[in-house]
Amino acid sequence: MSYKLRILLVDDEINMLESLGDVLRAERYQVATASSGPEAIARLEKEQTYDLMITDLKMPKMNGMELLSIVSERWPNMKVIVLTGHGSIDGAVEAMRMGAYDYILKPFQPDEALKIIERLAEVKGAALDGEFFMRELSTRYGFDSIIGNSEAIMNIFRKVATAAKSNASIFVTGESGTGKELVAHVIHYFSHRANKPFIKTSCASFGEGVLESELFGHEKGAFTHAQGQRKGRFELANAGTLFLDEVGDIPMHTQIKLVRVLQTREFERVGGTDTIKVDVRLIAATHQDIPSLIADRRFREDLYYRLNVIPIHIPPLRERREDIPALVKYYVARFAEDMGKKIEGVTKAALNEMINYDWPGNIRELRNIIERAVVFCEGRQITVTDLSHEKIRDTGQAEGHMLKLRSLSLQEAEWALITHCLNLTKWNLSQTAKMLEISRGTLYSKMVKLGLRESADESKDNEKEESEK
């Protein structure tokens, strides 16, 4: 998408403002000028419509570094390019550390500046394409947005748009919590199969015999408890899309059958002899290193190549930290609205905590932490204190806690986790179940199993009394 940036030039040298401004206007960019830092801030406060600020570092009244600091805090979505002389390269590097998009060394040729600006314009255009793409998805299908404008996310947008137009198999890789299933949804609902079934299954949830039946179906009497004929996921997804999550856990015997289906689009149900033909677009996903599994002879190489026609890799959140502010803003607004709270955002300190954290659970973890922080927030902004019960406050302390959990049995660890969450919610079963991402009934059953029955009954009574008030 071609996008002409709105640019604010800031320099105390009038000749520089005029000459660079003329070059940019000739390329049809919208350009405004300011001869000092305070004048630039006044323009921004009045207009707030700029995509890019190009500022000199050495200026009277307010230098470029001070201006960059103010702009980064008050207008975080605006990009900044700094101008500096050859003798002050250290200042340019420091500006990059503070968040500047790039720097240009004086004296420079117009083409040098135009190349950097054009690159930024392409990123901005791709971001707008992506925003339109995801806004359409959210409006039409009710999904959460894939949020961000980093180059990594833009690459995913481009690949998804290409993949949606084809019938080829797609292989989505990435760590747990990065959004692999959401990408599969997006591809399906922007394909010509959008009005056909979207069937999904987690291959890690079934044993070998059960998974084969889940995928290909079975005939009556094929095995014990097979009381009747049952269609498998491939049949249910006919003419649509089948999403297989965690394909790295598919047993070898089932892999052999899957290779044949991908090659011929034919299979037989378990215990059956009739050949069934299907037209299915397959999207596979995994968090595992498939080449390593192939080397260990736990995954068929021919299956890998048939699945990996169009590869899409979703990077972990720690590799695209620039998307964290937008994600935080989105989830704070969403959960505040869900809970009926007037929360306007997060403090700068709290945001820094989240930007500097490595997020091993990726977006799923960030989402859960924001939801809990909204529960505990009593003011207009989420503060570091609201995050204080989370492991992002002290990674070392969290690792020590995890080491303690590793020394416990599974039942002891489960008891410790449930008790901890119950204490955080003051033993409210509904809130605790939501925090643990399980149903309230499952939580109650676990509490009974773990010897917390009296406490469970008491909590149910307390919740009933509160609801009756």
Task: Give pLDDT, residue 401.
Answer: 40
Establish if 457 belongs to a structural domain: yes
Establish if 60 belongs to a structural domain: yes
- Cα torsion 179, 181, 184, 190 to 10°: value is -80
* Domain around 433: 408-469
202 and 289 assigned to the same domain: yes
233 and 333 assigned to the same domain: no
181 and 248 assigned to the same domain: yes
In tens, the pLDDT along 162-220 reads 888 888 899 999 998 888 988 898 899 888 998 899 999 999 888 767 888 899 988 88
Establish if 130 belongs to a structural domain: no
254-277 per-residue burial string, b: 16 or more CB within 10 A, e: under 16 = bbebbbebbeeeebebbebeeebe
Last residue of a domain, one of 258, 286, 313: 313
Last residue of a domain, one of 313, 336, 361: 313
162 and 307 assigned to the same domain: yes
CATH number at residue 168: 3.40.50.300
Task: Give pLDDT, residue 392.
Answer: 52
173 and 247 assigned to the same domain: yes
* Cβ atoms 252, 300 nearer than 8 A: yes
180 and 305 assigned to the same domain: yes
Establish if 339 belongs to a structural domain: yes
* Cβ atoms 186, 298 nearer than 8 A: no
179 and 54 assigned to the same domain: no
232 and 85 assigned to the same domain: no
pLDDT beneath 70, residues of the chain: 1-3, 48, 86-89, 122-146, 208, 222, 224, 388-414, 453-469
Euclidean distance between CA atoms 82 and 89, whole angstroms = 11
In tens, the pLDDT along 235-291 reads 999 999 999 999 999 999 899 999 999 888 899 888 888 899 999 999 999 999 999
Task: Give pLDDT, residue 293.
Answer: 93
- Which residue in 42, 46, 66, 48 sits closest to 56, CA to CA? 66
Last residue of a domain, one of 391, 406, 421: 406
CATH number at residue 424: 1.10.10
Task: Give pLDDT, residue 395.
Answer: 43
- In this structure, which amino acid lies at residue 174? G
399 and 468 assigned to the same domain: no
309 and 326 assigned to the same domain: no
Establish if 396 belongs to a structural domain: yes
Establish if 415 belongs to a structural domain: yes
291 and 324 assigned to the same domain: no
Task: Give pLDDT, residue 28.
Answer: 83
Task: Give pLDDT, residue 196.
Answer: 92
What's the number of domains the chain is made of?
4
CATH number at residue 15: 3.40.50.2300
* Cβ atoms 390, 369 nearer than 8 A: yes
Percentages helix, strand, coil for the chain (3-state, rounded to 5) are 55, 15, 30
- In this structure, which amino acid lies at residue 298? R
Reported as type and span, the H/E element at residue 134 is helix 110-141
Share of the chain above pLDDT 70, in %: 83
Establish if 82 belongs to a structural domain: yes
Establish if 1 belongs to a structural domain: no
352 and 414 assigned to the same domain: no
383-396 per-residue burial string, b: 16 or more CB within 10 A, e: under 16 = bbbbbeebbbeeee
